[in-house]
Homo-oligomer: A and B are copies of this chain.
């Protein structure tokens, strides 16, 4: 056991070391000033097992904004409160093979967004949440699943997103004009921007990944945290479209259901009930963490985590 612990610890450190050599291949997100200030050298990985062990290397406790990883929490909340039928009448389940903020796909698909993990689909998903206090419920969900009561809104990022989010605003009004979005577009957008701006850590996301990997049950307490069917749906969509228009290549090479965010995080729900999260704000051209992908590819290979690995 102790040996296994040592080995895992060593693997994570090797993975970080390897990843550090690639950080020159990308850039920190700069579409809002707050994100551009992040230290590009930040890098970390956390693994949480169903036995409750937690392995860490690098910057696993630095808070960063959840960004698109939040789309998986929105989806859980929409399915929990709005239900499957309502939600999937507003958004599809198909991967799009397209970049995260494409409009053209919308027009071609009769304005129903392809899936809940691209911007237009996530905005539609947020509008399906039936809750009196949607942001508080969302924050509560993040805190519970990440086991991190300190997860909170970054006011700076939220304000920055809100001020500069014209493309997302355009998407919301398109959805509204085509009756996909029923309520007030600005309210839905405000939630969407808040949802993106919650601060989490790699450690917290690793726990979230571990819960997903255990089909929604906390394996330590035995408590069911999320409905099993919802988890199955979320993980399938993560696998199919969790890494923007690099999802296919990621699935072929690494083969772990994962979701990335432009804040630099990636959360993964691996085999055998293992949760993994990486943090590295340097992004590649597709918007995924350069360091995170290197780490995950290394771990997938060394630990045999590809879903179709024999």
Q: Which residues of A contact B (CB under 8 A)?
A: 92-98, 102-109, 114-115, 166-167, 169-174, 176-178, 185, 214-215, 217, 228, 231-233, 235-237, 239-241, 245-249, 251-252, 255, 257, 306-310
Contacts and interface: CB of A to CB of B under 8 A. Distances in A.
Given A103-B106, A215-B308, 8 more contacts: A94-B97, A95-B96, A103-B107, A170-B170, A232-B308, A236-B252, A236-B307, A240-B248
Interface centre among A92, A95, A214 (most CB of B within 10 A): A95
Contacts of A232: 252, 255, 306, 308-309
B257 A233 contact: no
Q: Is the interface of A mostly helix, strand, loop or mixed?
A: helix
Contact of A170 (B171, B217, B241): B171
Interface centre among A115, A170, A235 (most CB of B within 10 A): A170
Given A94-B247, A102-B107, A173-B167, A255 B228 contact: no
Nearest to A234: B308
A249 B93 contact: yes
A119 to B, nearest CB: 12
A192 to B, nearest CB: 14
B105 A97 contact: yes
A95 B93 contact: no
Given A96-B97, A104-B107, A252-B93, A310 B173 contact: no
Contacts of A174: 103, 166-167, 170
Contacts of A247: 94-95, 240
A251 B93 CA distance: 9
Contacts of A177: 166-167, 169-170
A107 B104 CA distance: 7
A32 to B, nearest CB: 12
11 contacts: A92-B249, A93-B249, A94-B246, A95-B96, A104-B107, A114-B248, A169-B170, A169-B177, A217-B310, A236-B307, A240-B240
Contact of A248 (B115, B185, B215, B231): B115
Given A170-B174, A308-B231, A92 B248 contact: yes
Contacts of A241: 95, 248
Contacts of A228: 310
Contact of A251 (B105, B185, B236, B308): B236
A81 to B, nearest CB: 19
Interface centre among A102, A240, A255, A257 (most CB of B within 10 A): A240
Contacts of A94: 95, 97, 245-249
Contacts of A108: 104
Contacts of A171: 170
Interface centre among A94, A174, A237, A255 (most CB of B within 10 A): A94
Contacts of A167: 173-174, 177-178
